[in-house]
Structures are given as structure tokens and as C-alpha cells.
Structure 1
Amino acid sequence: MENTGVNSLTEIADRLINKNHKIATAESCTGGWIAQEITALPGSSEWFDSGFVTYSNQSKKRLLGVKSSTLEEHGAVSEQTVLEMAEGALRNSDANYSVVTSGIAGPGGGTSEKPVGTVWIAWAGEEVGATAEKVVFKGDRESVRKQAVNYALEGILRKLLA
């Protein structure tokens, strides 16, 4: 996979190390790909705490504390769900920041309201609060997932470490 580049990951690492902070991931549609990109960088154990792959709704509830009512009312691919996932990743780790994905990578599963390629990404930090963005990526399953990973990693710099 082409990632955000070693320079971006190195910049994320440097900023987290300088603050003596760590990051955690909580991933659904990206299936641990963000954590894989982070841990591909030597020395990442200094700034990466943990990764949660919560593909099922049950695991989102059990591991991250996402409320059943949130999933029933808004669905797994929603702003409300990724914000709860981001908070849960912080609560259930020793991280100061979290990055989260939940989406519809395809080829099936899309609807008119949430077409294939729809991904909600959230970033949260103890000092900066939580924010979420909906992005609709184009392409096949691998392309949607790859774009989501890159966007999520770039967002760490834009949203959390600005």
C-alpha cells in the first residue's frame, strides 16, 4: 500500500514523542490498516499505544462502549458512532489521541443515503476534543480502504497535532 509517506508518519511520530503522547486506533472498514501503517515505522512503540479492530456492532459495544441506541438510531456508519468509538478508544487505552474509521468499502452494502465509499472518520484528543468527517471515496473496495487510511493519517496532523 502507498501510505501517507514516511515523512508524514515521521512528523506524526516526532510531534507525539515531543509531547510524550501516544495514539490509539479504532477501525471498522479499514480493518487494522491504519495501525499497520503506523507500526511499519520503526520505533512506533514509543508513540503508538493500541489498535482496536471493531468490525461488528457487538465488538463496537463491547470493546469501545458504543451505545446500542446509537447503533440502532444512526447505524455503524455515522458521525455519532465514530465519535463514541473515538472516546472509547481513549477510555480503553493509555493513548492521548485516537483516530477512528467506520464505512462502507463495498462492493455491496451501500444505500442511497450511504453509498459504497462512504466513510466516517473521527479524531479525538484529550486536549482538543473530538471531531468527525464524512468522506465519500470512489473506487473499488481496496481503493476506498486505502483512501480512508491515508485521509485518517493525514487528519492526525490536521486535526490533532496542528
Structure 2
Amino acid sequence: MDREIEAAAKGVLALCRARGWTAATAESCTGGLVCGALTAIAGSSDVVDRAFVTYSNAAKVAVLGVSEATLDAHGAVSPQTAREMVAGLLAVAGTSIGVSVTGIAGPGGGSAEKPVGLVHFAAQRRDGRLIERREVFAGQDREGVRRSSVLTALSMLKELAR
């Protein structure tokens, strides 16, 4: 793991530990890399509860309770889907904090409306505080989009844990 991701993951874990909080992730385009960054740190089991890789729409519906109507109207890569993913994550996991990531890592799959590199994030605390982000990591290859997405998700978790 690179040092920037390691430092960000350690920061999330330290803030959650200080509050006695647990965390979970719901990931699509990152394929579990956010949770992987957290669990690469020894002793992370006191904070990290679980992660779901819901790559397909069917998994988003079955595991996280994302509405098929939302997917039909807005698609998997949308702020609406990211919000429903994190809400479902917190409902299922019961953790203090969670983050969702859904996007188009490329190299294919993009369109004029939803280009390669578009990623939607939602992070939420159990008390309801929600932050959302929309990023377009233009000009990056698949690995770069996924790396940037992991850093963004960790940053959002840190922001909520402060």
C-alpha cells in the first residue's frame, strides 16, 4: 500500500478509536479497496466491522436495499444510488459510520453524461449526518481512478469522524 493511503487509513482508524466507533464500507468500482486499506493496518479489527462489494445492480438491491426504481431512473453511478448504498449499509451493519463508492473506473463504460472517471461518494454517520461528493478523475487510468477514489472515501470518513 502506498504511504498516502496508509496515512489516510491510519487517520480514520485513530479518529474512530478515539470515539469508540465502528466503520463499514459499501463499494462498487473500488472493489473493496477502501476496506482493504483500512484492514491493512494491524489492529484495525476494533474499528472495521464489515464491507460489501456490490458491483452489480442486483447486489446493490439484494445486499444494501438500493431501490430498483432509483437504479432505473438514475443508474448505478449517481448520487441517489450512492446515498441509498450508504443508508442501506448503516441499516445492515449497524456501525457508527460508513461510506459508499460507485463510479466508472474505465477504461470503457463511460458516456458523454457519465464519463470514465466519474465517481459518486456518500458517507454517513449513524446520527444522520451525511456528506456527498461527485468527482471526475479525468485523464487517469483505471488504477488511478480507483486509487483517487480510495483516498476520497477515506477523507470523507475522517471528516465525519472528527
Matched letter for residue 36 of structure 1: G
AA aligned opposite 2:154: L
Q: Which residue of 2 aligns with 1:87?
A: 87
CA deviation map 1:95-143 (0-9, x unaligned): 1110110000011110111100000011011125222111000311111
After TM superposition, give the deviation of residue 90 of structure 1 in Å: 0.5
Q: Which shifted more, 6-15 or 28-37? A: 6-15
Corresponding residue number in structure 2 for 1:52: 52
Question: Does the 8 A contact of 1:28 with 1:55 survive in 2?
Answer: yes
Q: Percent identity?
A: 41
The residue aligned with 1:154 is: 155
Matched, 1:41 2:41: yes
Q: Tell me if the contact between 2:10 and 2:38 (Cα under 8 Å) persists in the aligned partners.
A: no
Instruction: Provide TM-score, normalisation by structure 1.
Output: 0.94
Counterpart residue number, 2:99: 99
Consecutive unaligned residues of structure 2, counting only runs of 5 or more, are none
Distance 1:109 1:3, change over 3 A: farther
* CA shift in 2, pair 1:5/1:116, >3 Å: closer
Over aligned residues, Cα RMSD in angstroms? 1.3
Which residue is equivalent to 2:23? Answer: 23
